Amino acid sequence: MKKVFALTACLLLSLTACSSQGKINDGEALAKDLSEKITYQDELNLMDESLAKQLYGIDDAKNLWIYTGSGATAEEVGVIQMADEASAKNALEKAQQRIETQKDAFTSYVPEEIPKLEKAITEQYGEYVVLSVSDTPDQAKEVIQQHLK
């Protein structure tokens, strides 16, 4: 019985981690703060929007702000604004797929980056999806909280 309860609790926690409460005030400001207020090994730069849409496989984003490094690290920030919550759920899946793709790439390329990817934040807030890959996911969560209304 304890095992069933523990398994159920874990499942519920994992579901709530994917879709969070609150609304983002300003997606662009959040992305910028995530890229600047967290300590990174790499220097993150805003990616061209058309390239970002291609990278994530999201053509119908209203707005997206993706910050990436040189490729030597897995560090990345993404804030994606969709038309509604239903399409944001699809974008969340794409962001989670991006993390899995990065895990596959970095396993043989730079395996030291895998812990960052395993602690990556991928969350949905209404029509927004937020992704953060860093050594300090707790800092990222604090920054996100500051941008919720």
Is residue 138 domain-resident?
yes
> CB burial class (10 A; 0-12, 13-18, 19+) of residue 41?
middle
Is the residue at 14 inside a domain? no
- How many independent structural domains does the chain possess? 1
Q: Has residue 42 been placed in a domain? A: yes
pLDDT at 2 over 70: no
Please indicate, yes or no, whether the overall pTM of this predicted structure exceeds 0.75.
yes
In a domain, 11, yes or no: no
Q: How many CA atoms lie within 13 A of 25 on its CB side?
A: 10
Is residue 15, in this structure, part of any structural domain at all?
A: no
Confidence label for 18 from pLDDT (cuts 50, 70 and 90) = very low
Residue 3, pLDDT > 80, answer no
Q: Is residue 75 part of a domain?
A: yes
Tens digits of residue pLDDT in 86-116: 999 999 999 999 999 999 999 998 999 999 9
How confident is the model at residue 20, as a pLDDT? 55
Residue 121's domain spans which residues? 20-146
